[in-house]
Amino acid sequence: EASAERLVVVVTGMLGGVVNAAGALLGGYLADRMNRRLAYGLCGAITALCAVGMMLGPATTTAFTVGCLAYQLGNGLCYAAYYAFVLDLVGKRTGVTTQLALFAGAGNLATSYVTWLDGWSYDRAKAWLPAHASAARRGMLGMDALSTFVGIAALTAMVAYVRRSRRRDDATVVGTG
């Protein structure tokens, strides 16, 4: 058991941090070479797929190690793509610092809420299926993946709405000129 505890400390600590930083470097590289909204959505999907893989995979030390490190890499990708996306949104105008702080706060709020939701789903699955040892872990990882996919869908819907609104506004301006 002491070796399992040590593994958790290493994987979620220093090694996880190094992998997360590598993901951030890679995410920044990708976000500079493609549409930043798309990069953010794709990086989020990578993280969600890591959670699905961990949910469906066995509860072994190898699966834990690979899954956690893949998830950390995905999170690093997301952090970089998120800030590239936000910096695209705020641009270079008056109030940009305040806008950036608001976006960062909104991102932190979402992370806090999903962390709470993951814990809630862990507790519910454990209570509803006490005879199934992996139910709580699978419930939490499933909720994590689901909330990420819902977030991607919401972002996609918002982008589509803004694009339609801009096209309508452009058509109105062209029609009046």
Angle between helices 2-12 and 61-90 (to 10 degrees): 20
What pTM was estimated for this model as a whole? 0.78
Residue 44 in tokens: 């989020």
Residue 160 in this model has a pLDDT that exceeds 70: yes
For 75-127, the pLDDT digits (tens) are 999 999 999 988 888 888 888 888 888 888 888 888 888 888 888 998 888 88
Residues 43/74, Cβ–Cβ less than 8 Å = yes
Per the model's pLDDT, the better-predicted residue between 169 and 10 turns out to be: 10
For 122-144, the pLDDT digits (tens) are 888 888 888 887 888 899 999 99
Per the model's pLDDT, the better-predicted residue between 83 and 177 turns out to be: 83
